Amino acid sequence: TYLPKRYTPWFTFEKKKVEYSLGFVYLESLDVLLIGYSLMDSHTKYMTVPLGAIKEMLLPV
């Protein structure tokens, strides 16, 4: 149906003015999301976030 089921509140990676996610992949062996993101359209960075932390942020629609 392409309708959202859950969402997260607004958040930032490093509290910069311009940030956006480049995508993510689930690393099953570590139970984390590897997230690529850009800062100020000039720096690409990566971080891992435990999947449980993301699930705790999710809100129902």
The pLDDT of residue 30 is: 98
Q: Is residue 30 part of a domain?
A: yes
Q: Is residue 49 part of a domain?
A: yes
Q: Is residue 1 part of a domain?
A: no
- Do strands 6-7 and 59-60 pair parallel, antiparallel, or not at all (unpaired)? antiparallel
Q: Is residue 45 part of a domain?
A: yes
The stretches of the chain forming alpha helices (DSSP H) are 51-57
- pLDDT category at 1 given cuts 50, 70, 90 is confident
Q: Give residue 39's domain range.
A: 6-60
Q: Is the pTM of this model over 0.75?
A: yes
Q: Is residue 24 part of a domain?
A: yes
Task: Dump pLDDT digits (tens) for 14-50.
Answer: 999 899 999 999 999 999 999 999 999 899 999 999 9
Rounded-to-integer distance, Cα 61 and Cα 54, Å: 16
How many domains does one find in the chain? 1
- pLDDT category at 61 given cuts 50, 70, 90 is very high
- pLDDT category at 54 given cuts 50, 70, 90 is very high
Give the distance from CA 11 to its chain's centroid. Answer: 9
Q: Is residue 36 part of a domain?
A: yes
Q: Which residues contact 61 (CB under 8 A, 6 or more apart)?
A: 3, 4, 5, 6, 7
